[in-house]
Amino acid sequence: MSSWLSSLEGYCRLVTVIVILAMIFALLALRLFAVLGRRTGHEQRQLPTPADDVATAPRPLAPTQGDARGEAGREADSVVSAPAQSGLRALIALDRSFDVSQFLVGARSAYGMILEAFWSGDRETLRRYCDPDVIAEFEGAIDAREAAGQKLENRLVRIEGANISDVRVDNGTALVSVRYEADISAVTKDKDGTVIAGSLVDAVPTIEVWTFARDVRSRDPNWLLVETDEG
C-alpha cells in the first residue's frame, strides 16, 4: 500500500511539472506571436513612395490624379464661378486627372514665381512658364526698363483670392482663367537708387486675370501662361 501511494505521488508531481512547462511554453508562444504577428508566407511588400524615397520639388500647375467631382468637386465649386462650370465639365470629360484644388495651388505658386521673375528680369524663368507671346510682352517691358536704368523692388504681400473665372476647351487645348486678388508693394528706382515711384510701406490692391493653357492630349502635365489681363 505504501509503495502504491509513493508511485501515485510521483505520478502527480510529474503531471504537475508537465502542466507548468506547458503553461510556460504557451505564455512564450503568445508573446512571440504578439511581437512577430502571424506570417502566412504571402504578404505583399510595401514599396516606398516617392515622398519616402526622394524629396522632389513641386511643379507649378501640374494636375494630380483624382476626380474633381464628388466631395472634392463640391468643395471646388466654391472657387469656380458659375460661367466656368460648363467649361469645367467639358475639361474633366477630356482629362479625368484634372483637379480643381490642385490646379489652384499651382496657379497661386505660378503667380508669385512669374511676377518675381518679371520684376527681377529673370528671362529664363519666364520662358519656362509662359508662351512665346507673353514672353515677348514681358521681355519688351524688361528691355525698356533696363534701357531707362530703372529697377523694380516689388513684393507680393499676399494673395487674397484665386478663383477660376472661365474654362474653355478648343481643339484639345484647355484654357483656364484665374482671377487673382492680391496686395502688392511696388517701388521703382532709377539708376542711382532713388525711388521715383511707389512705396514698400503701402500695399496696392491688385486684380488680374491670367489664362493658362495645356494640350490635354499631351503627356506633359504642365500649363503655360498664355494671357494676362487686368481684372
Which residues of the chain, if any, have pLDDT below 50? 2, 4-5, 8, 28-59, 63-75
Residues whose CB is less than 8 angstroms from the CB of residue 149 and which lie 6 or more positions away in sequence, other chains included: 190, 191
Q: Are residues 65 and 124 in the same domain?
A: yes
Q: Are residues 10 and 119 in the same domain?
A: no
In a domain, 165, yes or no: yes
Q: Can you give the pLDDT at residue 90?
A: 96
3-state SS, residue 60: coil
In a domain, 53, yes or no: no
Give Cα separations from 90 to 3, 65, 82 (angstroms). 99, 17, 14
Tally of structural domains, the chain: 2
Q: Are residues 25 and 100 in the same domain?
A: no
CATH number at residue 68: 3.10.450.240
Q: Can you give the pLDDT at residue 22?
A: 59
pLDDT tens, residue by residue, 7-62: 545 555 655 656 565 565 555 444 433 433 343 333 332 223 333 333 333 345 55
pLDDT tens, residue by residue, 60-69: 555 444 444 4
In a domain, 150, yes or no: yes
In a domain, 219, yes or no: yes
Q: Are residues 5 and 99 in the same domain?
A: no
Q: Can you give the pLDDT at residue 73?
A: 46
**Cβ proximity of 153 and 189 under 8 Å:** yes
Q: Can you give the pLDDT at residue 84?
A: 96
Q: Can you give the pLDDT at residue 25?
A: 54
In a domain, 107, yes or no: yes
Domain with 122, as residue range(s), is: 61-230
Q: Are residues 123 and 176 in the same domain?
A: yes
**Torsion sign, CA atoms 129, 131, 134, 139:** positive
Q: Are residues 88 and 166 in the same domain?
A: yes
